[in-house]
Structure 1
Amino acid sequence: MDTAPRANDISRRSLLWAAAGAPVVAATAGGAGAGSAEAAAAGGRQDPDSPRFAVAVLPDTQYLLDEGGSDPEPVRAALAWLVRSRGEANIAFMTQLGDVTEHGTETEMRLADRVFRTVDGKLPYSVLAGNHDIPSGDDQRGDTPYLRTFGPHRFRRDRTFGGASQDGYHHFHVVKAGGRQWLVLALDWRASDAGIAWAQGVIDTHPALPAILTTHDLVWAGDDGQAHLSANGQRLWDRLIRRNDQIFLALGGHYWPPGRTTMTNDHGNPVHLHITNYQDRYYGGAGMVRLYHFDLVRDVIDVETFSPWLRARVEKDPSLLEAETVALTGDVDRFSVPVDFGARFAGFAPPALPAPRPPRAVMPRGTVAYWRFDRTGLAGAGTDGAPVPPGTVARDLTGNGNDLTSTLLHASGPATLTWSADHHDDAPAHASLRFDGGKQPDRGAVLRTGPGAPLNAMRFESGYTIETFLKLPSPLVGDHAWMGILSWEGRAGDAGKHSGWSDDEPTCSLNLSGERFLQFVVYPVPVDADPTSWSHAVPVGRWMHVAVVNDGRRTTMYVDGSRIARNAAEESTGIATLGKPFALGGTQFAGSYGQGFHGWLGDTRVVARALRPDQFLTAH
């Protein structure tokens, strides 16, 4: 169809804000589909394990595949570009949204057949029937030129093909991308009760796969870009989408202008519903393509819309309309959808986290101290939120005698230090300590080595690696600037060091600035200097791993295994310790503690040599 139901005239102007998104899902193919011809795509191979991949969308092409007079070249050019760019853009799949042709005749379907041969065997894809592709009725209409052209037989060569409904008008694909499988449902523009039951059966057969639902008639948009369910979309929402938490993204064409909305399903999770259709634009949409770029690292889907056919033309001598239409950058054409993929899929596909690792597995040669806060290392651990009483001992699991003992600072109450089941996914121990330090008045808690602990006086002149896991609360409320994470006690001035910011700061500490920069400052053994490393602004609400590595000459800080930029350029040999305790959860100034750390701390390890990133506590 060509126009959207609306109270007001619809313009191209739209306003659409990204809300939250969800990843696409793969499933294990339940039907035919062996073939791997598409792996030989001319543009290179798709990397199924990369956390960044794209799903391509080809909306209504009916005005370009019209036997009454049109031009199929923009569509052919779009498909050829997808094949050529498959490796570079890591395109995992292409889905078409119906209304392939204008009248659905034998002649038009023969033309569509020739055009879509461009991708056959080179890029897995789906096609579904729009109202212009079939005479009338729902999926029980029987044989049609469309079905003979784009029925299940066409897709059996694609390794993604999972099966089709008995009538042939619905099919599904299982797509491997981002290191997991995704389910793509391609539904006829009018699904009968039997068609909906078939789709539900596919979902039930693949209960752990996130799903993208595609159909022709789903939502329509007003001139503000806000999409609304159509009558058919409402039926699909009520009968299928809202009930199945796996469906996180639903795409349709049929109407213009483009738009989107986010609705909440019966499980309390967001479902993103988008309309993509540009047939009203110059040259029948000019073979417009939309790419959904999934980024599982950044937890976002970045969307862009452009015409590959016009891109080639504007490189030469473009007309005004060609130059205006080549790429669309309105709020409903180019946008980002932030989504916490792990949280969104946790209800049906909880992540398989690594099992806890025993202490002996994470104590390489040279380990001088290792503390963890599960039952292995902390007396009384086990009840989430339970206070950790003063005097509780976290054992040094190396056996070297560097046990930590908990102390509440100032007049801090029992809730200032609690045990937590929260932990970094890659931490050896599945537990942590929750510190509730703060200012005005100062409060906090620290865990300190005893007066005779060997770690107190070690100088590490041959190098060292200090590691910890930490998480800052979200939101980070209040003033927590310059809170300490770990340190050795004692004044730098007492160690004969006077070149730093103050003689009253300790000889070695890891702290957090008011801008949320990690600061590692150390006074080396042989010289009066304070080489300092600074990270970027670290995130809140997310676990991170921090490692400080010294090779005997220079110090390098790593955050989540990545080397930071602002590492101290000065030579740095050893740590000018004073025989005073090592502390976790705070940093002294002038020999006393002010505020304590605010957040979570996990496994912490000190090794008397430089480790490589693949030897950090995060390594498996």
Structure 2
Amino acid sequence: MPGGSYLTYLTERAETHMCSPDHRPDTPRAGADRRLFLRATAIAGAGSALAAAAGAAPAAAAPATPERHDWRPDRNSPRFTLAVMPDTQYLFDSATINPEPLEASLRYLLHRGRDENIVFMSHLGDLTENGRPNEFAAIGEAFRLLDTNRVGYSVLAGNHDIKSSTDDQRGRTPYLDTFGPKRFRGSPTYRGATPDGYNSYHVFHAAGRDWLVLALDWRPSAKGVEWAREVIRRHPKAPVIVTTHELVYADREGDEAQFSEFGQRLWDELIRGNDQIFLTLNGHYWPAARTVRKNDDGNDVHLHITNYQNRYYGGAAMIRLYRFDLARNTIDVETISPWILGRAEKQELNELEAQEIELTGPQERFNVSIDFRRRFAGFAPVTPRQPRPASRMLLPGTLAYWRFDSGHENGSPLTGSDRIRDLSGHGNHLVTATAPGSPAGMLTWSDDHHPDQPGHGSVRMLGGKAPLRGTYFRTVADAPMNTATFRSGYTLEVFFKLPAYWESGRNAWSGLIGRRGRNGDAGSTIGDPEEPVAALNVSDAPAPQWAVLPLNREGIATNWGDELRLDTWWHLAVVNDGSHTTMYVQGCPVARNPNAKVTGIGTLGLEWLVGGFEYGGQLDQVLDGWLGDIRIVAKALPVSKFMMAD
């Protein structure tokens, strides 16, 4: 065991810190106080279910009772959890067998598996203290909880599980008898092992893709390392997590992790040359620590050590939860003790337990920022979405559909003779209009587009307000849509992007799409009569705003979105079901959608503007940005039918 005697550690810690009469921290109790203490863990609800597993006090070993659970992770959600359990050796030490903490952690995975979308668990070795048959019999029985429910997990041998002076060619051992390939034949994630049985690999499916876990022996031989390389080669698009017992360590709490001698060898022989390896996990040493190193491709590899055998009750089978969130490009890491949590449900905790329910230091609770798409691009690039034909976008009720992928050369200007044809077939065509005094070349074709846009093209508009300039679009004078009232509902969709230099003073309140005509002339008696009857704008934030004079009200009704990132393509939709209007950004509803009843869109029979905004019946602003596909449908569409989704 590195770092000295566990008994010595506990004695010194008790004498100098926790058990001193002058240092008696408040003890969390079951109920509201404990839940407040655990507010970040979101596991209070599982406590009562785990309490039975924990027991009222340490007790002699008892066989684990297999339980049946509905283990079905959501394999397509962008959020999933990988559980990690380090050294449990002091719970399985000769005649001292205490499986309760480990069973509590395994039951946590079963009880919380669906809520936290736990897809896999990795044990980091040193399952036992001496590698004896009775120790392995006890821990093997505990792991039946996962086997019975076909939960994917991996184990590997630490230096206490086998003779530490040997490598993976050591032959038969109690470890191999208990956790060898035979055990995993029914596992949903197990894919194979080295002929010696000491190195294995698993594949779990999460966030819509396969992830590869290598569980490497305490000392993989040259054959073992070459086997690992070959496994990676056979899975060329899978991100890889390497688990092994020893790799990095830190001398003191707060130190950055560094390679051990063996860890440096494994880095040089396996990790640095395989770009698919983005995360490594190991135990063996303490304190917990981490570091980041660049591989041969110049990409980050995150190297983490987690081990709590030096803490109360041998670490109490504490688990670390790696909560992957591909939508946020983040891994949120948390460290908890389900066993102590279960005990807190039944009784007051002792002073040592009270400090171990959840570890909140910077090495136990932290976030890892990873741009997953960019990090994995070298071996699994995202295939750009192909253009979709216009006919596929013509849903029943489509009144107008405009797109800008007509094959013109990127950067070439639009001329007065260029007409944007309404692909719906209803004759709502667009023609260009220019603010007086504007220079030429203010409206050009562009190849830029939203990645989920059906048409792979856009128009680049160089408009502004001070001074007023730019070229925009309007519907033809006889367009049927000019008089449409949309009494039964509508869906307006537009793809757009604002430039990085966008400024509120020059560009605020530019229109994406709207309808000409003063709302005062259309019967409004409330608010500013100079506002147009309908306008989907970009405010000064910049944020999207839909302001419309409905048929059933005497004033403007408004929906507001949140602030938009610049130099980013967005999909914006406004949906009215005949009674209420909801704005969506990237298919997500915004918060400021009013509950007021709104029906239809007021009209004076005038044209619609695209990229232009009127105030007081006069052109007031021209968009500075990019416009992609635009569709208007005379009914409410579900998100699943938006252009970015269909």
**TM-score (ref. length: structure 1):** 0.85
- Specify which of 274, 298, 307 is matched with residue 328 of structure 2: 298
Residue in structure 1 matched with residue 174 of structure 2 by the alignment = 145
Q: After superposition, what is the alpha-carbon deviation per residue over 1:290-343, rounded to whole angstroms, capped at 9, x for unaligned?
A: 111222333322221101110011222111211111111122212232333333
Q: Which moved more, 1:239-248 or 1:312-321?
A: 239-248
What is aligned with 1:200? Answer: 229
RMSD of aligned C-alpha atoms?
A: 3.1
SS in 1 for 2:108: helix
- Between 72-81 and 433-442, the greater mean CA deviation after superposition: 433-442
Cα shift readout 1:94-147 (whole Å, capped 9, x = no counterpart): 101111122223343333323323322422211111222221132233333322
Residue 579 of structure 1 and its aligned partner are, at CA, apart by: 3.7
Match of 1:189 in 2: 218
- Map residues 161-560 of structure 1 onto 2, 5 A cutoff: 161-221=190-250, 222-315=252-345, 316-352=347-383, 354-375=385-406, 380=408, 383=410, 386-391=411-416, 392-406=418-432, 411=438, 414=441, 417-425=444-452, 427-435=453-461, 437=463, 445-472=471-498, 480-500=507-527, 502-525=528-551, 527-539=553-565, 543-560=569-586
Partner in structure 2 of residue 88 of structure 1: 115
Shift in Å, 1:534: 1.5
1:146 & 1:436 partners in 2: Cα distance?
A: 70
Q: CA deviation at 1:454?
A: 3.1
Give the C-alpha shift of residue 478 in structure 1: 6.5
Which residue identity lines up with residue 2 of structure 2 in the other structure? D
Matches within 5 A, 1:560-599: 560-599=586-625
> Residues 441 and 224 from structure 1, CA distance in 2 versus in 1: closer, same or farther, beyond 3 angstroms?
farther
SS for the counterpart of 1:507 is strand
By how many angstroms is 1:539 displaced?
4.9
Match of 2:514, SS state, is strand
Alignment equivalent of 1:116, drawn from 130, 133, 143: 143
Moved more, 474-483 or 286-295: 474-483
CA distance in 1, matches of 2:370, 2:500: 16
The 1:178/1:452 distance shift into structure 2, 3 A limit, reads: same
Corresponding position: 1:74 with 2:101: yes
| Structure 2 residue corresponding to 1:104, chosen from 121, 131, 138 | 131
Within 2, Cα distance between the matches of 1:200 and 1:441?
63
Is the Cα contact below 8 Å between 1:53 and 1:294 reproduced in 2? yes
Instruction: Give the deviation of 1:599 after TM superposition.
Output: 4.3
After alignment, is 588-597 or 545-554 more displaced? 588-597
Preserved CA contact (<8 Å) 2:67 2:145 = no
Change (3 A) 1:174 1:408: farther
Shift, 1:595, TM fit: 4.9
8 Å contact from structure 2 (residues 199, 224) kept in 1 = yes
Shift of 1:288: 0.4
CA distance in 2, matches of 1:403, 1:506: 21
The Cα offsets for residues 495-545 of structure 1, whole Å up to 9 and x where unpaired, read as 343523x33322211123333432100112464310111223445565443
Q: Deviations over 1:399-457 (max 9, x none)?
A: 323222355656467476451343232x3223334445556656655233234433333
Q: 1:128 is matched with which residue? A: 156
Call closer, same or farther: CA 1:581–1:47 in 2, change over 3 Å.
Answer: same
Task: Provide the residue aligned with 1:28 in structure 2.
Answer: none
- Gaps of at least 5 residues in structure 1 are 5-11, 13-38
SS, match of residue 489 in structure 1:
strand
Are the aligned partners of 1:420 and 1:434 in contact in 2 as well (CA < 8 Å)? no
Residue identity matched to 2:211: W
Instruction: Give the aligned residue type for 2:94.
Output: E
AA in 2 matched with 1:207: P
Give the aligned residue type for 2:614: Q
Asked if the contact 2:504–2:540 (Cα under 8 Å) also holds between the matched residues in 1, the reply is: no
Q: Is the 8 A contact 1:311 1:326 kept in 2?
A: yes
Higher Cα Rg: structure 1 or 2?
2
Matched positions, count: 581
The answer (yes or no) to whether the contact 2:414–2:443 under 8 Å persists in 1 is no
Cα distance change, pair 47–465 in 1 and its aligned pair in 2 (3 A): closer
**Partner amino acid for 2:333?**
V
Partner of 1:462: helix, strand, or coil?
Answer: coil
Could you say which residue in structure 1 is the equivalent of 2:48? none
Letter of the structure 2 residue corresponding to residue 189 of structure 1? W
The change in CA–CA distance for 1:258 and 1:393 in structure 2 (over 3 A counts) is farther
Which stretch shows the higher mean deviation, 94-103 or 343-352? 343-352
Q: 1:201: how far off?
A: 0.4
After the TM superposition, list the runs of 4 or more consecutive aligned residues in structure 1 that deviate by more than 6 angstroms. Answer: 474-478
**What percentage of aligned pairs have identical amino acids?**
49
Give 1:35's aligned residue: none
Task: State the Cα deviation string for residues 205-250 of structure 1 (Å, max 9, x = none).
Answer: 0111111111111222343253223333322223222222222221
1:2-13 pair list within 5 angstroms: 2-3=2-3
Q: 1:134 is matched by which residue type in structure 2?
A: I
SS in 2 for 1:499: coil
User: Where in structure 2 are there 5+ consecutive unaligned residues?
Assistant: 5-16, 18-65
- 1:609 & 1:156 partners in 2: Cα distance? 54
Q: Please say if residues 457 and 580 of structure 1, whose CA atoms lie closer than 8 Å, have aligned partners that are also in contact.
A: yes
Name the CA distance, whole Å, in 2 between partners of 1:470 and 1:408. 20
